[in-house]
Amino acid sequence: MDDILDGLNDAQRSAVVASDGPVLILAGAGSGKTKTLTHRIAYLLTEQGVWPNEILAVTFTNKAAREMRQRLWQIAGPTQASSSHTPPADQPPRSFMPWMGTFHGICVRILRRDGAAISIPSNFVIYDEDDRQGLIKQAMKQLSIGTDRLKPRAASAAISKAKNQLLSPSDYAASARFPFQQAVAEIYQLYEQLLADAGALDFDDLLLETVRLLRDHSAVRQRYQTQFKHILVDEYQDTNAAQYQIIKLLVNPCRNICVVGDDWQSIYSWRGADFTNILNFERDFPGALVVKLEQNYRSTGAILEAAGNVINKNQQRTDKTLWTAAGPGTPVQVQAAYDEAEEAYTIASQIATQVATGERDYSDFAVLYRTNAQSYAFERAFNQHRVPYQLVGGVRFYDRKEIKDILAYLRLIYQPNDRVSFSRIANVPTRGIGATSLEKFLIWQGTSGLDIISALVNASQAATLTKRAQTTLTQLGQLLRGFQAQVEAAADPSQLIDDVITKTGYRNYILDGSPQADDREANLSALLSDARAFASMPDFLEEVALMSSADQATGAHSVTLMTLHAAKGLEFPVVYMVGLEDGLFPSARALEEGPAALEEERRLCYVGMTRARQELYMSYAQSRLQFGSRSYNSPSRFLDDMGMSLSMVHTEPTTPVYDDALDEVMPYEVGDMVRSLQFGDGEVIDIDGMAVSVRFANGSTKKLNVQYARLEKITP
């Protein structure tokens, strides 16, 4: 027993040895919850004589399950396994392990074994999101519901939400009040029939059907209740309605259920998580023992104090007071920048300096942001400073589909013989141009002597094409010809991009009702905003090409860039939380939706802050380009929430900031030396209206819009 309890603090020991009845472990950030949960399982196996198959341990990720298995084998494996058959430490025997896995994994095992009771074949296949959308499109086609009326992604998201709320097709139809809901109800009904015909379940079905099985078949339910004498659930604050019901149905009259979680870190309501499940645990299981893990082993006192002050502003929460024996450490610092470019370049410079002096490794740093679109400024700045980085949970800015799509339009407009770009956008958004028609057109274009745009305009001459294809291609050609005229007239690149996004229907195309739609729109906004610094399309496309092809080392020695949501469960010596502005973080949507949404944003802020072990920097920009115009937001209210004396580091503006309201006064003359955050030092060699051509020290020449290019005049 001593071995099992070694290295545990008093609260952790209490949680481990409380083996009878319901137990709620409120585990603060960095308090060792995984360690506690693992030792509790080991205690049940070695000290209580519980058989492995009598324990059900549920995690939220396969990674967490693997980690728990390894830890469990290291703690209790040698005492439970025959010494003559002891496998390697990384391969614990299956017979030793409890039922352990994700909710979905556990449900698959149950349904394979007993699904026949509700007419689910044991050999059912599991459809992923792509499979689901394909089946939804099939259902929509059969129902004559066009994609102009309803986006398949939106229908998929609505059906997924319904299933996680345990709503059957008939339940959903009964509550459908609006045309969108009524259309989804039709699709949902047929979609379920198509799934059944295919002998398939989607991921949401794994939960929903397990609830139905356990709820409607008492013999099956009682057999699992008899088998699972102890149930343990990790990250209980992230359970949705279906997962909650599965646990309730599996708990037997002995009520030996132990849940671990932290309502302060509940940040997934957008995917159905209901943190009130953990708040209501004592109501669901009267007499439950509540153990609070409050000693933090990760962060300094200063970080915990600031994070605690933020989360304590929430009304719906449990009471905990995190503390550490590590001492106060470095004060939390707030950095103010003039705009998003200066924010990124300042941080890149700070990181590069610390690494150059040997104080830190690149891997010590993480930059956390609210939206994926914010990564662009940091990708640019890190490339400029030759700081290696890795994007976690996302793709590089110029590798994102919506960015590649719009750039393909721009390249084709600029170079109308670019077949690769044309092939990419020919049917994006969907125009009904099939692969066969596209192939026939390109063959005809290749023999016509015309460039692609000219050939499109004259597609009616392509005899191999159907009349419908000719008409569609001609319309596309006329649209692209109009964009060409804008380039020839030296139109502002940002205006051209905005026109492409709007006139092609691309904006409506990406706003498809999916959870990713807002991110896609924000990415296009970042591209649009960046283009405003350039006065010519060739310069902008050249810069994009250099950025997208820049060598970028990734791996162990690189800075981590990621969203706050993706950072949950991770930790870093130094964390930069960026974009702390009202309207960005907390998000504008949260501010509009009210207190509940704002409290979730505050929990997200807490999660981000508690990723830091030694140093935490919070930054905001006084102005930020969004959707092609400059906005001026207040510093985030979360900074005020900290309610403590923070170390403020204000970055003095290195360059002037302009906006649309300023008089068009050229502040430079030919021969002036200027400095650019993006390109370094250079000389003004030409002036054209509000555009300046600058020859930079690296030999490149850029034509820049002085209202947005952030140029600093260098005084001799």
The residues that are catalytic are 33-34, 234-235, 265, 611
Contacts of 633 (CB under 8 A, 6+ apart): 581, 582, 583, 584, 620, 621, 623, 624
At position 233, the amino acid (one-letter code) is V
Q: Long-range contacts made by residues 536-545, C-beta under 8 angstroms, separation at least 24?
A: 536/490, 536/493, 536/691, 536/703, 537/410, 537/413, 537/414, 537/487, 537/491, 537/493, 537/496, 538/414, 539/702, 539/703, 539/704, 540/410, 540/493, 541/407, 541/410, 541/411, 541/414, 543/702, 544/398, 544/407
Give the C-alpha distances (Å, rounded to integers) separating 448 from 305, 445, 462, 644: 72, 5, 9, 72
> What is the Cα–Cα distance from 239 to 233, expressed in whole angstroms?
10
**Closest Cα to residue 123, out of 115, 134, 133?**
115
Q: Is 253 exposed, middle or buried (0-12, 13-18, 19+ CB in 10 A)?
A: exposed
Query: How far, CA to CA in Å, does 478 sit from each of 38, 405, 429, 459, 674?
Result: 65, 19, 16, 11, 41
Using CA atoms of 168, 171, 176, 182 in order, give the dihedral in degrees to the nearest 10.
50
Q: Cα(250)–Cα(347) distance, rounded to whole angstroms? A: 50
Long-range contacts of 658-661 (CB under 8 A, 24+ apart): 658/706, 658/707, 658/708, 659/623, 659/630, 659/707, 660/629, 660/630, 660/707
- Tally the residues of the chain: 716
> For 323, phi and psi rounded to 5 degrees?
-145, 165
CB 11 within 8 A of CB 291: yes
Q: CB neighbours (10 Å) of residue 365?
A: 25
For residue 615, list its beta bridge partners. Answer: 574
365 three-state secondary structure: strand
- Type of residue found at 473: L
Residue of 274, 168, 278 whose CA lies nearest to 216: 168
Give the list of residues 6+ apart from residue 116 with CB closer than 8 angstroms, or none.
Answer: 122
Rounded to an integer, what is the distance from CA 402 to the centroid of its chain? 16
Distances in whole angstroms, Cα of residue 37 to Cα of each of 106, 261, 284, 286: 18, 11, 21, 22
Nearest to 259 by CA among 296, 224, 231: 231
Amino acid letter for position 348: A
CA distance 249 to 245: 6
What's the CA dihedral at 430, 432, 436, 438 to 10 degrees?
Answer: -60
Provide the angle, in degrees to the nearest 10, between the axes of the packed helices 129-142 and 152-164: 110
The gap from C-alpha 129 to its chain's centroid, in whole angstroms, comes to 16
Phi, psi of 367 (to 5 degrees): -110, 120
User: In terms of DSSP bridges, do strands 691-696 and 559-563 run parallel, antiparallel, or are they unpaired?
Assistant: unpaired
Q: Crossing angle for the helix pair 103-114 and 203-216, nearest 10 degrees?
A: 60
Q: Which residues contact 585 (CB under 8 A, 6 or more apart)?
A: 370, 564, 579, 601, 604, 605, 636, 638
Rounded to whole angstroms, the Cα distance separating 528 from 533 reads 10
| Gap between the Cα atoms of 18 and 284, Å rounded | 18
Cβ contact 59:65 at 8 Å = yes
**What is the DSSP code string of 557-572?**
SSEEEEETTTTTT--E
